[in-house]
Structure 1
Amino acid sequence: MSASLKVMLVAAEASGDALGASLAKALRARLGERVTFVGVGGIKMAEQGVQSPFDIAQLSILGIWEGLKAYPTVKARLADTVALAVRERPDVAVLIDSWGFNIRLAKALRKANPNIALVKYVAPQVWAYHPGRAVDLARSVDLLLSIQPMDQAYFDAAGLENVFVGNSALAKRFDKADASRLRAAINAGPETPILLVLPGSRPSEIERVMPVFEDAVKRLKADRPELAVVVPAAYTVVEAVKARVAGWPFRAHVIEDEQLKDDAFVAGDVALACSGTVTTELALAGRPMVVGYKTGAITYAILKRLMKPRWITLFNIAAGRAIAPEFIQHACEGEVLAQAAGRLLDDPERRACQAAEQYDALDKMGRGMPDPSETAATAMIDFLRARDRI
């Protein structure tokens, strides 16, 4: 492998940014100076040398109505991304998660450069809804790097080469996390109960989920004045989170530092979590949680008809039961969230039991596999080498 390789990485959300950064690091470890990177991403990909032409917060959109309102912006950023590819002429483009944006980008890139190799990293959840997307993706890209074992049958049937690389969230380690460091940072004693509040990483989640979580925390604090409230915030929404927390009638600690976030994950007694990757990370850290989520009314009505699983939290789906209680849409109200979180806060045995069951469910999701980023890098190199691209 003596030829140089230019890789374009495209991530439209914070979770994708983390995947892209880890993949870039793994590819650079294998290929050294022979590989260079361009693309679209956030601060983590920037640390790996990927300078994004725009802020990806513009693309962090969830919901049909929200998507319609943001369409002119998304269309402009899509054109910017295609223009970047045309200018830089990468050998391969890796399109990370974010189905709505990246499936359009795949088709636009293919039209702009029929010879570019296209890789999709993270499959659309065809096992949950929209199975037809497997065929659409198979027509649009050359390789899929999937993170869920249930993906394979659908994409094999669609004729798309795919490799199960594992879920990077399952590779996250907390061995360097220190609960006492977090407690010192927020001036909490060793016996002070800590509630983690994780309201999501998208602006729409902060708008819809955060007020409900605030109501729940108000109720919990009213009954437990000693409760310390810690809010680890995603960088994509940190300013919005700080603005809302500043108006709370009680003290809450917004955590931005990545090490302190890990410390918080092992220090918290209970988490109130927006559905997403963070639920898997909390389970790995051994934190029992209550999951809440709200989206737009139109989006929810459509998804409710399409969704196959009864739950939305991945380890609940893997276990086939609601280990962590979920409160979705109309059920996501402050009073019921507070009641569920309160039961955990008041019962150490219940907390320990739920944490253990969550952890066991992660085994069914592939916990203990090799580092997904390393596996993804190997799959990409094998794929490109088989096609004489490197």
Structure 2
Amino acid sequence: MAMSPPDAPLVKRKLMLVAAEASGDALGAGLMAQLRVQAPDIDWSFVGIGGARMSEQGVKSPFDIAQLSILGLVEGLKALPRVKARVRDTVALTVSEKPDAVVLIDSWGFTLRAAVAIRKALPGVPLIKYVGPQVWAARPGRAKTLAGAVDFLIALHPMDPPFFEAQGLKTIVVGNPALHTNFGDADPLAFRKSIGLSADAPMLLVLPGSRPAEIKHMMPVFAEVLARLHRERPDLTFVMPVADTVRARVEAAVKAIPVPIRLVENEAGKFSAMRAATLALACSGTVSTELALAGCPMVIAYKLEPLTYWIYKRISTLKHATMFNIMADRRIAPEFLQNECTADNLLNAIDQRLDDKALREEQVREQFEALDIMGRGSAPTAERAARAVLDFLDLR
């Protein structure tokens, strides 16, 4: 990019970013930071909807995005009045700020409604979607819907472009951000020492999710698993990272479990704990990729509202839920979903791995191979996304 003469005034650009969940908040923050790095001769102004991470980059959100952390079709219907109210707030902010472009991050239901409403209120503003719906997994018709609502898609997965470009939506793939999780400062030995564990003492990392609905569905079965493990393996230490979005819910649930559980309340501690753990019991999601990068074997669990799951099974074409299992097209990490997500099934898989170091090591090796298929080692997602935004807006 050509630099401006030393005395030339900086070009001003205002970008609005809209994120409705913690994962989107992280994507938005990374994008803003990279835009400043890659286009230093632009005087950036960032506005929009986001959480703590985007706030650190200067975005003052008019409402708490925790109220939009909604999981499942049934739950989405129940929350529809609240979602519509927040869409109106988002449009009002857009009209007030008049940004040069709007980036709508993930959260399909909310950001699609926001895109349609913003397009109606400000027909000329460019709309960029950052993370598309997984049409390769279910409901391919959403590709046409998105193509009619936005101007450009920044996608995470190599399976995305054929679906969206067939509908005329320009799409670029920037990779899964979880592949670039930085474990450089993680110190597993120091973490173990901080909680009084020796280097080889057994430790189970428990990750019940980052959405209220996930805590609601996963904590009861996880609580039973932990109680039984504690009785059978009194030397096993339990560690549980806590997401900001569900802190109060997790803390309340943990108090009801008659098991000593050490809570970890920051990212640095979470990554050290991932490196330190013997094994993880995790709610399905992005955390599975992070665990795989950390070299931690895992058992995956997930539950939804029964009706939501019934609908999902009838529209999904996937054989697996965990991304590295999907990419490898085989069950590397065991998954126990919905009716299979029972204490007995989870305990059996956990016991097998706690008792068999070779099994754990083989799972870690296969997880690493799957991460390579996913694109481990490529340029960071935020860096590639910022380039895509600058190119689309012709600012390079």
The TM-score bracket by the shorter chain reads over 0.9
Give deviations 1:61-115, integer Å, cap 9, x for gaps: 0112211221121111111111111111111111111001001110001001011
- How far is the alpha carbon of 1:255 from its aligned partner? 0.7
Q: What residue number does 1:244 align with?
A: 253
Any conservation in 1 of the 2:226–2:259 contact (CA below 8 Å)?
A: no
1:28-177 maps to which residues of 2 (within 5 A)?
28-32=36-40, 34-177=43-186
- How far is the alpha carbon of 1:3 from its aligned partner? 2.9
Are 1:11 and 2:26 counterparts? no
Q: Secondary structure at the match of 2:39?
A: helix
Q: What residue number does 2:197 align with?
A: 188
Q: Secondary structure at the match of 1:34?
A: strand
Are 1:313 and 2:322 counterparts? yes
- How far is the alpha carbon of 1:189 from its aligned partner? 2.3
Give deviations 1:146-199, integer Å, cap 9, x for gaps: 000000111111110000011110011212200122213322222221101111
Are 1:179 and 2:191 counterparts? no
Are 1:21 and 2:29 counterparts? yes
Q: CA RMSD in A?
A: 1.2
Distance 1:371 1:343 in 2: 36
- How far is the alpha carbon of 1:309 from its aligned partner? 1.3
Distance 1:43 1:214 in 2: 29
Any conservation in 1 of the 2:178–2:289 contact (CA below 8 Å)?
A: yes
Any conservation in 2 of the 1:16–1:96 contact (CA below 8 Å)?
A: yes
Q: What residue number does 1:200 align with?
A: 209
Match of 2:380 among 343, 346, 371: 371
Q: What residue number does 1:357 align with?
A: 366
- How far is the alpha carbon of 1:365 from its aligned partner? 1.1
Distance 2:306 2:80 in 1: 19
Any conservation in 2 of the 1:219–1:335 contact (CA below 8 Å)?
A: no
Any conservation in 2 of the 1:144–1:160 contact (CA below 8 Å)?
A: yes
Q: Secondary structure at the match of 1:149?
A: coil
Structure 2 gaps, min length 5: 3-9
Distance 2:28 2:242 in 1: 20
Greater alpha carbon shift after TM alignment, 59-68 vs 158-167: 59-68
Distance 1:133 1:365 in 2: 23
Q: Secondary structure at the match of 2:138?
A: coil
Identity of aligned residues (%): 53
Greater alpha carbon shift after TM alignment, 25-34 vs 279-288: 25-34
Give deviations 1:243-272, integer Å, cap 9, x for gaps: 111221011011112111110010011110
Structure 1 gaps, min length 5: none
Give deviations 1:11-34, integer Å, cap 9, x for gaps: 111111111110111011123351
- How far is the alpha carbon of 1:290 from its aligned partner? 0.5
Distance 2:353 2:50 in 1: 37
Distance 1:309 1:70 in 2: 27
Question: What TM-score do the two structures reach when normalised by structure 1?
Answer: 0.97
Any conservation in 2 of the 1:215–1:335 contact (CA below 8 Å)?
A: no
Give deviations 1:88-144, integer Å, cap 9, x for gaps: 111111111100100111000100101111111111000000100101111111110
Distance 2:277 2:139 in 1: 37
Figure out how many residues of one structure are paired with residues of the other and give that number.
387
Q: What residue number does 1:223 align with?
A: 232
Distance 2:11 2:360 in 1: 54
Q: Secondary structure at the match of 1:308?
A: coil
Q: Residue 190 of structure 1 aligns to which amino acid in structure 2?
A: A
Distance 1:363 1:342 in 2: 28
Distance 1:69 1:119 in 2: 28
Q: Secondary structure at the match of 1:101?
A: helix
Q: Secondary structure at the match of 2:159?
A: helix
